[in-house]
Structure 1
Amino acid sequence: MLTLIKGGQVYSPEYIGKKDILICGDKIERIDDLINIHTNSLSIKTINADDCLIFPGFIDSHVHIIGGGGEGGFKTRTPEIQLSNLTLSGITTVIGCLGTDSLSRNIKSLFAKSKALEEEGISSYMYTGSYKIPVVPLLNNIEEDIMLIDKIIGVGEVALSDHRSSQPSFKEFKNLVAQARIAGMLASKAGIVNIHIGDSKTGINYLQKLYEETDIPITQVIPTHVNRSKNLFKECIKYCKNGGYIDLTTSTTKKFLQEGEIKCSSGLKMALLNNVPIENISFSSDAQGSLPYFDDDGKFLGLKIGKCSSLYKEVRDAILYENINIEDAIKVITCNPAKHLKLNYKGFLNEGYDADIVMVNKKDLLIKNVIAKGKLMVKNYEALAKGLFED
């Protein structure tokens, strides 16, 4: 099957103008000003994209694909994510992780869900481990996991500066990062350690110490949830200026924002105004994590679930309300996570790359069509493909 996308304004993520895109199988075969195909022997699907901006497929680098939560008892465990939750949000590549609960959930279940999402039509990877150090691996150790299991690209989410963490020593943390790095080098993977940063006063102390006292590159770890407070975010801006990466979490609640959490779209603008390189910033949704919500008097009302739809919403808000140019805004969910995580052939619209494409209406920037691995998953705002057990 050949698919020809006609006349969209293409952001690769750099703007390259109005182009046609030819997809062959699951790859981008050609990008050109005008592509005409004259043959009766091939099946060709044509998509008119005159009214669209065309972006690379979005990468969500931190999702609880088998559910999260559970910190308020068994009934607070959140459900698994569904395929159409991801595709309707423009997400064509997802990285799964475990959080606090690695007892009733485990790395084998995470691996199975990652495989299932791949079978259903999107690209799926995962981290080994959870909040805890030492890590409970899929095989014998994290080196084997990263080197021998294709889907495992790093370790995470490891919790620091949080009462729910395993309270590791700096030596334990340092050794973990070193093991992940070496395994990544041997397997030609990122070997990234995804770090959950809590709201403890210790902040990113371990990350600073790792940078100052070891030879491990600062880019070997990615702290996430860095927009949970103004003080933490200020620390992380300084950290970025030394070359570090930061990841902002898009799922939030009104109550959290009232207590000082920074909205991702405004956080992105703050970082750029402080001369943080756009290449060092990414967004992730923390989807399927549990979020407490409250009334105006602060009374606990219940739990909501982190949404992957928040990922692009914050990028769209950055464009529409923070006046960040489109090229920079979409980098935080396309080429930046692709580079940070060494996801080859992802994050860009280039010939020979994976055919992961998002088309948004150029009037309101809402997601209209989504293609994952060459297959049309969302058409005219509706999911064409759903998971086996979706209604």
Structure 2
Amino acid sequence: MFTLIKGAKVFAPHDLGVQDILMAGGKIAAIQEKIDPPKGLSVKEVKAEGMIATPGVIDLHVHITGGGGEGGPATRVPEIDISHLTQAGVTTVVGVLGVDDFSRNPDTVMIKVLGLRQEGMSAYMMTGSYGFPPSTITGSLRRDLALLPPVVGVGELAISDHRSSQPTFEDLAKVAAEVRVGALLGNKAGLVHLHMGGGQAGMDYLFQLVRKTEIPITQYLPTHVTRTEELFEQALTFASMGGFIDITLTGERPTQEINVAEALTRMKNKNIKTDCLTFTSDGNGSLPKFDENENYIGMGIGSPSSLLREFKRLVVQGGFEASDLLPCLTLNPARRIKVDGKKGSLEVGKDADLILFDGDWNIDSVWCLGKHMVKGGEPLVKGFCAR
């Protein structure tokens, strides 16, 4: 089946102007100012004048098997349905565990990854969880990275947080070393994805890892870095050293002191390019609320839709350029997990993961690997339990 999108304004993720896009065999077959339908072939034509086409979102941090539990068994978040991802524009997802790594574990994340792939989207995962030593599938981090194709790193491993296992510097160094070797053997990115809490230590261990070991700074990806003023200042320093940072775009998140517009402005003022930055949703994860003594007082649930909701707000209301922010949702995360050879941008030969917006940045259609998943904002494909 050929699909021809006619006359959309294309951000690939950088602005290409008005173009036609031809998809075939799950790939981008052509991007040109004018493409005539191939003669003698079945072509589905989509009229897109006045609309906007972008690569699909790559979300590196979604609790696909459900997060939560900090408020007791009744607060465990259920598994996510594929339609909740695609309706949010997510065409590639990376599953993570959180604080609960016994009622959910890397095996269940792997099964969910395989299920999402079977349903038509691209899915990967991190092995491990908040805890130390990290729980694994094969018995070792090195083997998980080297032998299991969907595994792209370890995480989210919690530090500076009252819910973490309080790993030492030596513990973290051993994890990073195992992941580094496993990633080399498996030709993987091998991210050490760190959940940053609001503790006083902040990123101290991370700076020690960079100074005292030979493991490249680019192996690490700290997230939730806008949680406190002190943590974000450390994140800016880390980025200025050549490190990568991740900002959680959950607009209603009660524990983020720095909003994303302020964070982006401060990065610009310090001449830190956004090449180092990714946006993630913490989708389907718990958003627990704690009082000043770290007592649980309430719970929310993160949503993948927060990514494009916040993106739209930044562009429409905040005056930011779409072409400056889109790489943080597409090409940058593709590079972080080493799939930029096939994802993250609209280029001939790459996977046909594509979003079509109306002129006001509202999602109209989504394709995953050339398969039409969302039309008119409504899902065409739902998971087994959501049918």
* TM-score where L is the length of structure 2: 0.95
Flag the 1:266–1:371 CA change in 2: closer, same or farther, 3 A: farther
Listed one character per residue, the Cα deviations across residues 167-195 of structure 1 (whole Å, up to 9, x for unaligned) are 11111101111111111112111011110
Amino acid at match of 1:352: G
| 2:231 aligned partner, one-letter code | L
Residues 22-74 of structure 1, C-alpha deviations (whole Å, 9 max, x = no match):
1111111111111112423x221111111211111100100000001101111
| Aligned match of 1:360 | 357
Rate the CA distance shift 1:194–1:255 in 2: closer, same or farther, 3 A. closer
User: Which residue of 1 is the match for residue 172 of structure 2?
Assistant: 173
Q: What is the CA-CA distance between 1:140 and the residue it aligns to?
A: 2.3
Residue 199 of structure 2 aligns to a residue in which SS?
Answer: coil
Q: What's the counterpart of residue 8 of structure 2?
A: 8
Query: Match for residue 79 of structure 2?
Result: 80
2:375 is matched with which residue?
Answer: 379
CA contact (8 A) 1:147 1:183 kept: yes
2:186 & 2:288 partners in 1: Cα distance? 39
Q: 2:13 aligns to what SS in structure 1?
A: coil
Supply the RMSD in Å over aligned alpha carbons. Answer: 1.6
Residue type matched to 2:197 in 1? G
Q: Say whether residues 1:266 and 2:265 are aligned partners.
A: no
Native 8 Å contact 1:268 1:318 kept in 2: no
Q: 1:109-143 CA deviation, whole Å, 9 max, x = no partner? A: 11101111111111000000001221121002111
Aligned match of 2:330: 334
Asked whether the equivalents of residues 87 and 379 of structure 2 are also in contact (C-alpha less than 8 Å), the reply is yes
The residue that corresponds to 1:286 in the other structure is 282
Instruction: Name the CA distance, whole Å, in 2 between partners of 1:270 and 1:307.
Output: 26
The CA distance in 1 between the partners of 2:85 and 2:167, in whole Å, is 34
Aligned-pair distance for 1:246?
0.5
1:195 counterpart letter in structure 2 = L
Deviation per residue, 1:66-106 (Å, 9 max, x gap): 00110111111111111111011100000001110001111
1:277 to 248, 273, 277: 273
Tell me the distance in 2 between the aligned counterparts of 1:242 and 1:71: 35
Q: How far is 1:8 from its partner?
A: 0.7
Partner of 1:109: 108
Distance in 2 between residues matched to 1:265 and 1:370, nearest whole Å: 27
Residue in 1 aligned with 2:123?
Answer: 124
Aligned counterpart, 1:136: 135
Q: Return closer, same or farther for 1:38/1:55 CA change in 2, 3 Å cut-off.
A: closer
Determine what percentage of the aligned residue pairs are the same residue. Answer: 41
Q: Distance in 2 between matches of 1:251 and 1:374?
A: 29
Is residue 282–residue 304 contact of structure 2 (8 Å, CA) maintained in 1? yes
Tell me how far apart the structure 2 counterparts of residues 322 and 231 of structure 1 sit (CA, whole Å): 24
Letter in 1 for 2:330: T
Greater mean alpha carbon deviation, residues 158-167 or residues 194-203:
158-167
Q: How does 1:1-391 map to 2 (within 5 A)?
A: 1-40=1-40, 42-253=41-252, 255-256=254-255, 261-292=257-288, 302-343=298-339, 344-362=341-359, 364-391=360-387
CA contact (8 A) 1:345 1:353 kept: yes
- The alignment of Structure 1 onto Structure 2 pairs a total of residues equal to 382
Q: Distance in 1 between matches of 2:251 and 2:128?
A: 24
Pairwise CA distance, 1:14: 1.3
Aligned with 2:374: secondary structure? strand
Deviation at 1:252, TM superposition (A): 4.9
**Deviation per CA, 1:232-290, whole angstroms, max 9, x where unpaired?**
11110111001111001112536435xxx222343223322322111000110111111
Relative distance call for 1:254 and 1:181 in structure 2 (3 A) is closer
8 Å Cα contact 1:265/1:315 also seen in 2: no
Could you tell me whether the CA contact under 8 Å between 2:70 and 2:296 is conserved in 1? no
Distance 2:364 2:76 in 1: 32
Q: Is 1:361–1:367's contact at 8 Å kept on the other side of the alignment? A: yes
Q: Is the 8 A contact 1:95 1:127 kept in 2?
A: yes
CA distance in 1, matches of 2:386, 2:155: 28
Give 5+ residue unaligned stretches, structure 1: none
Offset at residue 215 of structure 1 (A):
1.7
SS of 2:230 mapped into structure 1: helix
Q: CA deviation at 1:292?
A: 3.8
Question: Closer, same or farther in 2 for the Cα pair 1:174/1:35, shift >3 Å?
Answer: same
- Matched residue SS, 1:256: coil
Which whole-Å CA distance do the structure 2 matches of 1:232 and 1:220 have between them?
A: 19
Q: What CA distance in whole angstroms lies between the structure 1 residues aligned with 2:115 and 2:128? A: 19
Query: Residues of 2 paired with 1:229 and 1:273: CA distance?
Result: 19
Is residue 7–residue 20 contact of structure 1 (8 Å, CA) maintained in 2?
A: yes
